[in-house]
Amino acid sequence: MSHSHDHSHGPGHSHHHGDDDPYYLDQICQVAVASAFGGICLVLYFFRSGDGQMLDLVLSKRFYPYVLAGGAAILLLSFIRAYCLWRQSREDEARASHAHHDDLAHDHGHDHGHTHDHDHAHHHDHAHDHGHDHSHDHAHSHEHVPASGSHTHAEHEADHEHGWAPWRYVVLMVPIILFALGLPNKAPTAVVPNLAGLEEPPLEAPGVITLTALGTDPYSQLALTGAFTHERKEKDEHAMLVEYRKLFDSAQDAKTREYFKNKVVLLKGQFRHLPDNPKVAIVARFLRQCCSADAVQISIPVVSRRDLNSIPNDSWVHVRGRVDYAQRDSRFILRIIVQGKDNILATTPDESQYIDN
């Protein structure tokens, strides 16, 4: 007799992840990194935002709400994924336990797939001997046949191989490490552009000719003109506090140039010397569109009658001077005319060095 045991694995059959499968390690690392990103976003928004803070050094203020919403969404998704991963691990443990008991139940003390031959000899001892022997062979065969449309164990293991790639987390850890180190923590430093030709005398020649020609004695009138123009004191005039970006853009518009020309203004920015000319400097700010990576420096030249060497580089200053425009071909260059270092006073830095566009 032949006995055949068919164990079929249907399409819904599943296998748990073994101890040597890095699937759960990979998933836990992904959840941990994502949670760190979400937490950093919330910390930046609630504790390190505002002028001069870390978030201000990275992004424009109009993107702050997206940082808050993105951080909250990432944390929520991370918690959901962590819960699903926990449920999945419990189910895999249950399947493993069930498979272990199922193997014990099918352990008959012999291997499946081989044949058992049993020789049973029946001897009939009668008064007479018929001379024949009765022998019965019993063959037991156990075969595990996969059901139609299902896959084998080897195919399943091939489909569920989970690669472990630690280098991915090395890359993802870079912004987390930068945050832990408190970077970025300072604004960029201003550089001096090419300002050749701006050191010419601020008083226009037609004005000098007109004043000189008014008198009968040209030499006496020239002396009076010098006395009138020397040490022109803007401090006796009311200084207009002006927005940096508005004054910077005035050179491109004729109507705005006409409005600002010869007005005494008060301008705030970061001071930088011209390396080869002690009487010319710049006051700089940084203009950005969305983040600090796209920030560009915008500079307004300062032309002085005296040396400005005593003013330290990169210091924040208030410049009090007269607005003037130098024409180069078809374009106009804005500049602030000052008498000397007394018109450039140190001040407290702005909380944000950036001007958002």
- pLDDT at position 205 over 50: no
Candidate from 62-66, 181-185, 313-317 with smallest mean pLDDT: 181-185
Residues 62, 159, single domain; the answer is: yes
In a domain, 91, yes or no: yes
- Chain-centroid distance, C-alpha 8: 53
Q: Say what the pLDDT of residue 258 is.
A: 95
Choose one of 153, 186, 219: the last residue of a domain: 186
User: What is the distance between the alpha carbons of residues 270 and 43, in angstroms, rounded to a whole number?
Assistant: 30
Q: Are 281 and 305 in contact (CB under 8 A)?
A: no
Q: Say what the pLDDT of residue 194 is.
A: 65
Q: Say what the pLDDT of residue 165 is.
A: 77
Q: What is the CATH number of the domain that holds 321?
A: 2.40.50.140
Q: Which residues have C-beta within 8 Å of that of residue 66, sequence separation ≥ 6?
A: none
Which helix (H) or strand (E) segment holds residue 169: the answer is helix 166-180
Percent with pLDDT over 90 in the chain: 38
Q: Say what the pLDDT of residue 238 is.
A: 83
Residues 53, 179, single domain; the answer is: yes
Q: What is the pLDDT of residues 23-64, one digit of tens each?
A: 888 899 999 999 999 999 999 999 988 777 888 888 888 889
Candidate from 51-55, 205-209, 299-303 with smallest mean pLDDT: 205-209
Residues 180, 238, single domain; the answer is: no
Q: How many domains would you assign to the chain? A: 2
By DSSP bridging, strand 277-288 and strand 354-356 are: parallel
User: What is the distance between the alpha carbons of residues 70 and 63, in angstroms, rounded to a whole number?
Assistant: 11
Residues 84, 6, single domain; the answer is: yes
Q: Which residues have C-beta within 8 Å of that of residue 292, sequence separation ≥ 6?
A: 57, 58, 59, 184, 188, 354
Mean pLDDT of the residues in the chain:
76
Residues 182, 318, single domain; the answer is: no
Phi/psi at 30 (nearest 5 deg)? -65, -45
Q: pLDDT class for 302, splitting at 50, 70, 90?
A: very high
More confident residue, 279 or 293: 279
Q: What does 75-141 look like in DSSP terms, one character per residue?
A: HHHHHHHHHHHHHHHHHHHHHHHHHHHHHHHT--SS-TT------EEE----SS-----EEE-----
Phi/psi at 299 (nearest 5 deg)? -125, 145
Residues 260, 328, single domain; the answer is: yes
- pLDDT at position 252 over 60: yes
Q: Say what the pLDDT of residue 218 is.
A: 52
In a domain, 269, yes or no: yes
Q: What is the pLDDT of residues 101-132, one digit of tens each?
A: 766 655 555 555 554 554 544 444 444 444 44
In a domain, 221, yes or no: no
- pLDDT at position 244 over 50: yes
Q: pLDDT class for 169, splitting at 50, 70, 90?
A: confident
Q: Are 118 and 137 in contact (CB under 8 A)?
A: yes
Q: Are 250 and 310 in contact (CB under 8 A)?
A: no
Residues 170, 307, single domain; the answer is: no
- pLDDT at position 339 over 60: yes
Residues 182, 238, single domain; the answer is: no
Choose one of 147, 171, 186: the last residue of a domain: 186
- Chain-centroid distance, C-alpha 252: 34
Beta-bridged to residue 83, according to DSSP, are none
Q: Are 339 and 229 in contact (CB under 8 A)?
A: no
Q: What is the pLDDT of residues 262-292, one digit of tens each?
A: 999 999 999 998 888 899 999 999 999 888 8
Residues 21, 159, single domain; the answer is: yes
Instruction: Return the structure tokens found at 328.
Output: 């180069």
Q: pLDDT class for 16, splitting at 50, 70, 90?
A: low
HEC-encoded secondary structure of 129-158: CCCCCEEECCCCCCCCCCCCCCCCHHHHHH
Candidate from 30-34, 253-257, 292-296, 339-343 with smallest mean pLDDT: 292-296
Cβ neighbourhood burial of 325 (10 Å; 0-12, 13-18, 19+) = middle
In a domain, 42, yes or no: yes
- pLDDT at position 311 over 50: yes
CA angle 341, 346, 350 (to 5 degrees): 140
Q: Say what the pLDDT of residue 162 is.
A: 52
In a domain, 317, yes or no: yes
Q: Are 31 and 85 in contact (CB under 8 A)?
A: yes
Cβ neighbourhood burial of 100 (10 Å; 0-12, 13-18, 19+) = exposed
Identity of the amino acid at 52: G
In a domain, 179, yes or no: yes
In a domain, 146, yes or no: yes
- pLDDT at position 9 over 90: no
User: What is the domain range of residue 24?
Assistant: 1-96+137-186
Residue 109 — left, alpha, or beta (φ > 0 → left; ψ -120 to 50 → alpha)? left
In the chain, the DSSP E strands lie at: 120-122, 134-136, 240-241, 264-274, 277-288, 296-304, 316-328, 331-338, 344-346, 354-356
Q: Say what the pLDDT of residue 72 is.
A: 95
Phi/psi at 296 (nearest 5 deg)? -125, 145
Q: pLDDT class for 236, splitting at 50, 70, 90?
A: low
In a domain, 193, yes or no: no
pTM of the predicted protein model: 0.59
Q: pLDDT class for 219, splitting at 50, 70, 90?
A: very low
Q: Residue 34: which of 86, 81, 67, 66 has the closest Cα?
A: 81
Q: Which residues have C-beta within 8 Å of that of residue 273, sequence separation ≥ 6?
A: 192, 281, 308, 309, 311, 313
Choose one of 154, 186, 218: the last residue of a domain: 186
